[in-house]
Amino acid sequence: MIRRVLFNLMAWTIVLAVAFPLFWMVVTSLKPQSELFRRPPTILPETLTFEHYWQLLVETNFLTYFQNSVVLSVATTVVVVSIATLGAYSIVRFKYWGRESLAFLVLFTYLLPSVVLIIPLYLMLVGLGLSNTILSLVIAYTTFALPYALWLLRSFMAGIPEDLESAALVDGASRMGAFRDVILPQLLPGIISTALFTFILSWNEYLYALVLVNSDNTRPLTTGVMNMLISSFNVEWSLLMAASVMMSVPLIIVFAFLQSYLTRGFGAGGVKG
Amino acid sequence: MIKNQKAKLERQYATLGMMLIAPTVLVFCAVIVYPLVSAIYLSLFDIYTPTLQGEWVGLDNYRELLGKGEFWTSLRNNIIWTVGTLSLQILFGIGMALVLHQNIWFRSLARSLILFPYFVSTVVAVLVWRWLFNDLYGILNHLMMAAGLIDMPIDYLGSMPNAMISVILVGAWKYFPFVVIAVLARLQTIPDALYEAARIDGAGPVARFFDITLPQLRDVLVVIIMLRAIWDFKEFDLIFLLTGGGPVTSTQTLPLLVYKEAFSLNHMGMAAAYAVTMMAVMLVFMIVYIRKTREKEA
């Protein structure tokens, strides 16, 4: 019994140590400016304040960045997941020339470093006159999101028994009819978890946003928030921590409500990182 | 007659399959294959970024980069960073997975808390750590001084070897949850009978770990190590945002060098040459990973 309690205490000490930076982020964002610079620092704030959150919404471009990030991530997710669902169905269930090499290419590009693609992509998007637009980021994000989504959906698709589809075909359904009525409902949990991961990837991306966009109207959260740190000569850590918390809110929501889908996705193909 | 019909149906299916894959192939060619090929092509030119004008220099970029000290120091940093952060991720990841595999209180909450650093944006992680590392008001210096570990505040990011150690630690903190989840999933499939048999034979917990758990984890560990090695090797955001490659160039890895050449020093062609060389180094690991994954599926 004592051993069990000790083991639990040890385990939770490690867990809390790992989570401490995130706890400290929330605490800092709620401290008034005066308390922030007190030594020794207070672990729990003596007075709670939401002034930094208010300041963030009213005095900075945070809301624009937030909106850009939402548009960008949703657009990338919708485009990538719809293309990848059809693609995964094709790769798993049909036989045609070049299918094997295509599957190999998908896996290869899943591992490809962004810095190799970024120079030609930059030249291409500048050439198309798309630089500084959200569209250019959606295009750039498909370079990592599409191979990833295909890779993930492929393994979900492979898990659906082929018999179900054959039965529908024998009953006279067309191939696409069977896809719509039989495969799609079965694949739905896979589609949801792929969509969640694609959204998280796009929400967190930094490098392409840094290179392709440099105006405040189109900047997403990642580069926008970082820019607040660099451009303000007087760094306000509470403000930055409040921004970090707000930036993580969509992830926390995803986490809280859709955890089972996240675990499923993790099992199917790992998460890109 | 029936045979004929069947062949016809198969042809129809093949066409349908190709139509379904067509959007994927188109996007792949436009945003991945074309840029990949042109990266190699660009690396043979000397291009000035603002004007995008340049001339053919052949293999000169490659000759120059191999002769430059900066390439070799960046490669060395890249290897130190990858090996350092990866070993911590693996060691800590396996340890944490073993702990979370046990029946601890509020296990699912503990798992969520462990997982969170992985999903949080790198920008957020870096901002938080820079605040923890802050020399004047950072909690880390304060706690270490209060515990009597140090007398003076430490400069975590501005001096060597502190900067490299800090980057490696933050990288390990951010990415070890990946190892935890992957190992945890595998642990759950090891049959209990194996452990019972070992217990009857009188094997202690340590012997059970080395004789049963580790051999059972072997295959999944090879795949995880390969995948994380590839991802850590190409890491840009975390190092760039934490130190920017500094102090001077002591934490500058190859991805940072590519970015610097292309967008600060304005040598597009040279940057492409660095990128292509970096990929050549990574290719070994990529091929091993692809082989291992295929083996597992077959």
- The residue type of B274 is Y
- The residue type of B226 is M
Please check whether residues B31 and B160 belong to one and the same domain: no
Ramachandran quadrant class, B78 (left: phi over 0; alpha: psi -120 to 50; beta: rest): alpha
Query: Contact A204/B20, CB-based, under 8 Å?
Result: no
User: Could you tell me if residue B78 is inside a domain?
Assistant: yes
Please check whether residues B16 and B153 belong to one and the same domain: no
Please check whether residues B154 and B32 belong to one and the same domain: no
- CA–CA min distance A191, chain B (Å): 16
pLDDT of residue A65: 94
- CA–CA min distance B242, chain A (Å): 11
Please check whether residues B27 and B145 belong to one and the same domain: no
Please check whether residues B13 and B78 belong to one and the same domain: no
Please check whether residues B30 and B174 belong to one and the same domain: no
User: Could you tell me if residue B55 is inside a domain?
Assistant: no
Give the range of the structural domain holding residue B32, as residue numbers without chain letter.
2-42
- Tokens 């994000």 -> residue: A141
Please check whether residues B90 and B37 belong to one and the same domain: no
Query: Contact B123/A247, CB-based, under 8 Å?
Result: yes
Please check whether residues B156 and B287 belong to one and the same domain: yes
pLDDT of residue B298: 59
Strand segments, DSSP code E, in chain B are 45-48, 53-56
Please check whether residues B72 and B211 belong to one and the same domain: yes
User: Could you tell me if residue B51 is inside a domain?
Assistant: no
Please check whether residues B111 and B19 belong to one and the same domain: no
**Which residue is closest to B10 within chain A, CA to CA?**
A95
DSSP string, B18-70: HHHHHHHHHHHIIIIIHHHHHHHHHTTEEEETTTTEEEE-TTHHHHHHHH-HH
CB of A95 within 8 A of CB of B14? yes
- The structural domain count of chain B equals 2
Query: Contact B31/A121, CB-based, under 8 Å?
Result: yes
Torsion angles phi and psi, residue A131, rounded to 5 = -65, 150
Run of H or E including B180: helix B162-187
Using a CB-CB cut-off of 8 Å, the residues of chain A touching B39 are: 116-117, 119-120
pLDDT band, residue A116 (cuts 50/70/90): very high
Q: Is B170 on the interface with A (CB under 8 A)?
A: no
pLDDT of residue A221: 94
What is the torsional sign of CA B246, B251, B256, B261?
positive
Residues 217 through 236 of chain A touching chain B, CB cutoff 8 Å: 221-223, 225-226, 229
Q: Residue A191 and residue A181: Cα distance in Å, rounded? A: 15
pLDDT band, residue A271 (cuts 50/70/90): low
User: Could you tell me if residue B52 is inside a domain?
Assistant: no
Q: Mapping DSSP to helix (H, G, I), strand (E, B) and coil, where does residue A68 land?
A: helix
Q: Please enumerate in sequence order all residues whose Cβ is within 8 A of that of A235, keeping only pairs 6 or more positions apart, or say none.
A: A229
User: Could you tell me if residue B19 is inside a domain?
Assistant: yes
Using a CB-CB cut-off of 8 Å, the residues of chain B touching A75 are: none
User: Could you tell me if residue B123 is inside a domain?
Assistant: yes
pLDDT of residue B228: 94
pLDDT of residue B142: 86
Q: Model pTM?
A: 0.91
Q: Mapping DSSP to helix (H, G, I), strand (E, B) and coil, where does residue B90 land?
A: helix
Q: Kindly report whether the peptide bond that precedes residue B247 is cis, defined as omega within 30 degrees of 0.
A: yes
**Which residue is closest to B172 within chain A, CA to CA?**
A18
pLDDT tens digits, A49-87? 888 899 889 888 899 999 999 999 999 999 999 999 999
Query: Contact B230/A142, CB-based, under 8 Å?
Result: no
pLDDT of residue B259: 95
pLDDT tens digits, A177-229? 888 888 899 999 899 989 998 999 999 999 999 999 988 899 999 999 988 87
pLDDT of residue A134: 94
pLDDT of residue B282: 93
CB of A36 within 8 A of CB of A52? no
CB of A132 within 8 A of CB of A213? yes
Query: Contact A111/B110, CB-based, under 8 Å?
Result: no
- CA–CA min distance B42, chain A (Å): 8
CATH code assigned at B78: 1.10.3720.10
Q: Mapping DSSP to helix (H, G, I), strand (E, B) and coil, where does residue B267 land?
A: strand
Q: Is B207 on the interface with A (CB under 8 A)?
A: no
Query: Contact A108/B290, CB-based, under 8 Å?
Result: yes
User: Could you tell me if residue B62 is inside a domain?
Assistant: no
pLDDT of residue A266: 67
Please check whether residues B148 and B245 belong to one and the same domain: yes
Per-residue pLDDT of chain B (298 residues; tens, 9 = 90+): 567 888 888 888 888 989 999 999 999 999 999 999 999 999 998 887 777 777 888 888 899 889 888 999 999 999 999 999 999 999 999 999 999 998 888 888 888 889 889 989 999 999 999 999 988 788 888 888 888 888 888 888 888 888 999 999 999 999 999 999 889 888 988 888 888 888 888 888 888 889 889 999 998 899 899 999 999 999 999 999 999 988 889 999 999 999 999 999 989 999 999 999 999 999 999 999 888 887 776 5
Please check whether residues B35 and B74 belong to one and the same domain: no
Q: Please enumerate in sequence order all residues whose Cβ is within 8 A of that of B47, keeping only pairs 6 or more positions apart, or say none.
A: B53, B54, B267, B268, B269
User: Could you tell me if residue B58 is inside a domain?
Assistant: no
